[in-house]
Amino acid sequence: MEVSKRTLQLGTETAFEVLAEVNKLTREGKNIVSFCIGQPDFDTPKHIKDAAIKAINEGKTNYTDSAGTMIAREAVARYLSRTRNIDVKPAHVVIANGAKHFIAFAIACTTDPGVGDEVIYPNPGYPIYESQIIANGAVPITLPLTEKKKFSFEIGELESRITKRTKLLILNTPHNPTGGILEEGDLLEIAALCKKHDLWVYADEIYCQLSYDKEFKSIATIPGMYERTIISDGASKAYAMTGWRMGFAANPLLAPHMARWVTNTEACGNHMAQYALIEALDGPHEETKKMVQSFRERRDLIVKLINEIEGVHCHSPGGAFYIYPNVTKALEKLDLSEAEDLRKLLLENGVAVLADKHFGGRNHGDPEQYIRLSYATSKDNIIEGIKRMKKVIEGK
């Protein structure tokens, strides 16, 4: 009896593996300040929880249409139309148990396995992009993000990677792991290339409400782009609903095809959670605004403190809740070879972070090394965690 090669080669989301390490150490009585998981430390707002409880009490506990209940799809369509300034119809919307599924569904809908179809994706980037490209039998093509571009990319770098076999471009803005944001001018140039080469775009916009310095811009807003863009978003980040598993995607052509993938995998999204999603999108947003303001203040604090550590420098990210500091000089100071070595050393000293290797291989010719910290934690934890990091790196 053998396990298939594609299963053995299947990638993972290393943040959860590091979280398991942290939980184990915590159970053993060790005090760990964790910056490793991208999860808001706030509770789901009460009015959202109440909507789910009401739905359960009213018997909303059955299967729904694979694309989701019509009332929930209408709420998503209103939300996407309002936030992207486009006309999204309920028929364009599919709801699933988390937005992550749509990575695989988008690749499956736009590429065929084993024929050389290519998917371009950001590097560093969310590790499930590469994992699902390979699992679906397509060819992964990395698009390097650079610190000098504030972790955006050169348009020439994108154009040089487009071939006759390119089918899909994955964009993520605001970006995990760097917090980088694609500027409107960049999006216009990207859109022109996608139209020229007839490419699909998977727009991972799960952090769209966590944009701190500028108004969020979606590539789907650009004329002629919504038709070729799979917009992916969800409730996890902006509404502190990670465990509710409510994600959604929209595209005029691919929605019914993605719904068939839902039928073939999970049948439908959680029925009662869809009522929580409706309340999140249509209800009051005061709690979300408070969360965003808190994240902005934490960003400013953690960037200030980490830039005070000798051998570490970090730009201020425009969105999400991550920083991606450059630790190359700190590694030299500590005589360490890789950012992963620093990650392990920090964990031994009570601080959990992730290394750049958890978000893809190093881009060709780039000697710089990085770690990722999530600031979805309290200011007290940020102060204490960076204090411990400073002690380890400076030896003081």
35 and 68 assigned to the same domain: no
d(CA 317, CA 300): 9
325 and 218 assigned to the same domain: no
| Domain C-terminal end among 216, 248, 282 | 282
| Domain C-terminal end among 260, 282, 304 | 282
**Mean pLDDT of the region 156-183:** 97
Which pLDDT belongs to residue 334?
Answer: 96
249 and 150 assigned to the same domain: yes
217 and 252 assigned to the same domain: yes
Supply φ then ψ for residue 4, to 5 degrees. Answer: -65, 150
C-alpha torsion sign, points 16, 17, 20, 21: negative
Tally of domains within the chain: 2
Average pLDDT over the chain, rounded to an integer: 95
Taking only the tens place, the pLDDT of each residue in 118-163 is 999 999 999 999 999 999 999 999 999 999 888 999 999 999 999 9
Share of residues in the chain with pLDDT > 70 (%): 100
Q: What is the domain extent for residue 339?
A: 5-43+287-394
Here the CATH number for the domain that contains residue 320 is: 3.90.1150.10
Which pLDDT belongs to residue 25?
Answer: 86
- What is the separation, in whole angstroms, between the first and last Cα of the chain? 55
Here the CATH number for the domain that contains residue 111 is: 3.40.640.10
d(CA 120, CA 125): 11
**Given pLDDT bands bounded at 50, 70 and 90, which one contains residue 5?**
confident
d(CA 229, CA 217): 14
Kindly tell me if the per-residue pLDDT of 117 is higher than 90.
yes
338 and 221 assigned to the same domain: no
Relative orientation angle of helices 127-135 and 101-110, to the nearest 10 degrees: 40
| Domain C-terminal end among 261, 282, 303 | 282
- pTM, rounded to two decimals: 0.95
Half-sphere exposure of 375 (CA within 13 A, CB side): 33
253 and 371 assigned to the same domain: no
Higher pLDDT, 259 or 16: 259
232 and 105 assigned to the same domain: yes
> Residue 114 region, left (φ>0) first, then alpha (ψ -120 to 50), else beta?
left
Which pLDDT belongs to residue 262?
Answer: 98
List the one residue out of 34, 20, 22 whose CA is nearest residue 374: 34
Taking only the tens place, the pLDDT of each residue in 276-319 is 999 999 999 999 999 999 999 999 999 999 999 999 999 999 99
b/e map 280-307, b = 16+ CB within 10 Å: bbebebebbeebbebbbebbeebbebbe
Which pLDDT belongs to residue 8?
Answer: 87
Kindly tell me if the per-residue pLDDT of 168 is higher than 90.
yes
**Given pLDDT bands bounded at 50, 70 and 90, which one contains residue 18?**
confident
Rounded to 10 degrees, the C-alpha dihedral 11/101/106/216 comes to -100
Instruction: Please identify which residue in the block is written with the tokens 């500091």.
Output: 325
d(CA 361, CA 368): 12
115 and 226 assigned to the same domain: yes
- The tokens describing 240, both together, are 């502190």
Kindly tell me if the per-residue pLDDT of 201 is higher than 80.
yes
**Given pLDDT bands bounded at 50, 70 and 90, which one contains residue 15?**
confident
**Given pLDDT bands bounded at 50, 70 and 90, which one contains residue 47?**
very high
Of 14-18, 22-26, 118-122, where does mean pLDDT reach its minimum? 14-18
C-alpha torsion sign, points 121, 122, 124, 129: negative
Of 11-25, 157-171, 239-253, 269-283, where does mean pLDDT reach its minimum? 11-25
337 and 378 assigned to the same domain: yes
38 and 55 assigned to the same domain: no
Taking only the tens place, the pLDDT of each residue in 357-390 is 999 988 877 889 999 999 999 999 999 999 999 9
Residue type, 387: K
Of 8-17, 191-200, 261-270, where does mean pLDDT reach its minimum? 8-17
198 and 337 assigned to the same domain: no
